[in-house]
A and B are shown apart, each in its own frame.
Chain A
């Protein structure tokens, strides 16, 4: 049999929402919640990325802790007493969603994101009252879509600065480091070095940033064009798992197909060959089968 080394780990006992929970040492509160069926909203967290703790959407209340703690990165400790649905937690989550939603175009956000807004009865528009000139807060961050290549577009009016793209471009997957957070405070944005167009940057068009973007700020050009033309219709799309036709690594591709055409390609985050990540050929190199 295979000689996979065994890691012996200790068990940790804690209480979540009054329930006794036992998890292996090293488990995060997010995973611990999940293990007992508690659904925690997340935004900047993804299974295949290192937690960056920037969105504060997943915060929970830990007894004797001065501040709320992010569940995605806080590790369970023996004897911890955790509240995930207290008034304080609900209020904080609601406010975070409202502040994010007030200044960002969420029209193409993941359905789970929009469902979470609803779950916490968030009303982003109450912060979007407009300035003296009648401009809403969203208008202050509104900017033109960056279209500088045929593969993918960047619409930073939709960016919530969750950093996932930076993580995927960096040490969590691609290690290309083409993008980072530039600017400070309200002017903070994701940018290439010196904010150059992508073709002048270090970008290698793996599209792994698109694969992790929760709001559609990063989008296949094919999807963008169809949305512009009003032909994008997810209800008419099928998703089929297959294997990439190029090199011999064997990456799983999920082909999103509408009207017998591939419109987008993703890879499952929980697949241990790709962990959701692809290269330029797998992500974008499918057009040859539909030059019919």
Chain B
């Protein structure tokens, strides 16, 4: 956000906020311990709006549920923004002092009247008005989101639309007022911060900046390409065009996690050389030419991870890895040696010192301090810096230090996979409490909460299609079809269906999803596919087992 890729607030802040907007997030199930903090805020009197197409277990805690149409988030945000401006509730002092581009934004959202917004989003105008006024009037307010915002073809637009609201009202950069993207995996934040994204070096430093590049070239005694690299979706495109022939996959299972699974399989199998480094022989590893068995990073090796509140924390070795599995660092240094670079035999602590040297965000985070303080939140540039629970407090400096925060004009763009007579139902995907992503990890333990993959249908749709709970149906999208058992969820509105990606070996949900990709982030639109649900066998009155048998008890 505003040049720093991280959420603005510490978890504790939500305990002391006045208004919580949970947008496209089922945190009760996907981030349960963050939700504990949220509930403390609620217990302390915060009002909560939940924006989600489904009435989830998170929504059950909200004062107001706004069940919007899948993919109408920008329209909703712009409508809220327009209402705030029209009602004279905009924080003019903050906007004038700390932001740029307000006039363009104001002109752009003019068309999103409450009535128009209601039409685009399916949310009642009075609820939109309520949220706009409550958000603008609150002393402190937080907007939290997850993949419901980012797994769309216009993911970055969605995020911009939300940021615009925080700028309109000054709900950013203050304790209890902020923007909270909840990360889906334990080190998504850290991976990006360490430079494992195509456009940044460690510490969010731009690879296309010649001064920074010169610093890294000196450090690494080599030449670094002056253009940013490909993100995941661009890599698949490059495979399609034959530009990318060798792929090195570390700790990912794209064969099962990518949208449009048929295409993914074709492209990965078509590679000249595929190397997979993982703790398991995943479906991706099964088709690899070389598999490098790795130690589990969270319990079989040393290092750090970074959480959704930008807190760098230590992971430690508690178990000896099995068989030939090796620490990631050992594998990578051995590989480098074969490629002609002798990096010696660094420990995790040595690598961390390199991070501290090169990244201004992490300079003050010694292993000793991380240990002593239960982690530190970046930026933490020097050894005497306490870390930064709240980001962008500079926007409240007088005058604003650094650059002002820009409004970004974005417009409504419905999901790519349009509903039609042939594919009349909207399929959205997500996670359940007891499982995780493609189930590679959670498959290891049994849970009474787990019932395998099921497609969830609204009671109305089930009745219309003469489908009952437990029945196996065929789900068809423009890309393929799968079969799954039906669960009836009264939390779904007619027209909406839900599945997870947790059991790809049984039900390959990603056969159905569309790989329409956000050009800026490279994220696919997992949240919006168009499907139809077909009965496989007509309902017949089956004879109960054992009926008529001699001696059978009723």
Contact = CB atoms under 8 A, between A and B. Distances in A.
B21 interface: no
Contacts of B449: 204-205, 280
A67 interface: no
B188 A248 contact: yes
Interface in A274-292: 274-275, 277-282, 284-292
A242 B315 contact: yes
B175 A5 contact: yes
Contact of B174 (A3, A241, A255): A3
B441 A245 contact: yes
Nearest to B434: A280
Interface stretch (B75-83, B268-276, B292-300): B292-300
B374 interface: yes
A134 interface: no
A123 to B, nearest CB: 41
A252 B189 contact: no
A65 interface: no
B389 interface: yes
Contacts of A3: 174-175, 390, 393, 396
A198 B32 CA distance: 20
B319 A257 contact: yes
Interface in A125-178: 149-151, 171, 173-175
A291 B296 CA distance: 12
B448 interface: yes
Contacts of B440: 288
B372 interface: no
A9 interface: no
A75 B296 CA distance: 47
B546 interface: no
Among B189, B320, B442, find the residue whose CB has the most chain A CB atoms closer than 10 A: B442
Nearest to A201: B448
A14 B448 CA distance: 52
A238 B318 contact: yes
B12 interface: yes
A177 to B, nearest CB: 12
Interface of A: 1-5, 149-151, 171, 173-175, 198-199, 203-206, 238, 240-252, 255, 257, 260-262, 271-275, 277-282, 284-292
Interface stretch (B33-41, B349-357, B527-535): B33-41
B30 interface: yes
B344 interface: no
B175 A274 contact: no
Contacts of A286: 299, 444-445
Contacts of A250: 186, 305-309, 311, 313, 375
A284 B447 contact: yes
Contacts of B297: 245
B433 A262 contact: no
A288 B306 CA distance: 22
A251 B311 CA distance: 11
A249 B314 contact: no
B337 interface: no
Interface in B295-335: 296-300, 305-309, 311, 313-320, 322-323
Interface in B259-297: 279-280, 296-297
Interface stretch (B113-121, B154-162, B177-185): B177-185
Contact of B441 (A5, A150, A246, A275): A246
Contacts of A205: 434, 447-449
B452 interface: no
30 contacts: A2-B389, A4-B175, A150-B447, A151-B447, A151-B448, A171-B43, A174-B36, A198-B448, A205-B434, A205-B449, A241-B316, A242-B299, A243-B305, A243-B314, A243-B315, A245-B297, A245-B298, A247-B185, A248-B184, A249-B11, A252-B313, A260-B319, A272-B12, A277-B36, A285-B442, A286-B299, A288-B442, A289-B296, A289-B299, A290-B319
A248 B316 contact: no
Contacts of B23: none
A257 B313 CA distance: 21
A3 B395 CA distance: 12
B97 interface: no
Contacts of A274: 33
A247 B445 contact: no
B175 A2 contact: yes
Contact of A173 (B36, B187, B279): B36
A280 B308 contact: no
Contacts of A292: 322-323
Contacts of A4: 175, 389
Interface string B379-395: 00000001011100100
Nearest to B323: A292
A246 B186 contact: yes
Closest 3 CB pairs of A and B: A248-B183, A250-B307, A288-B444
Contact of A273 (B11, B296, B298, B446): B11
Nearest to A268: B374
A197 to B, nearest CB: 9
Interface string B103-142: 0000000000000000000000000000000000000000
Nearest to A175: B39
A58 B190 CA distance: 44
B526 interface: no
B378 interface: no
Contact of A277 (B33, B386, B388): B33
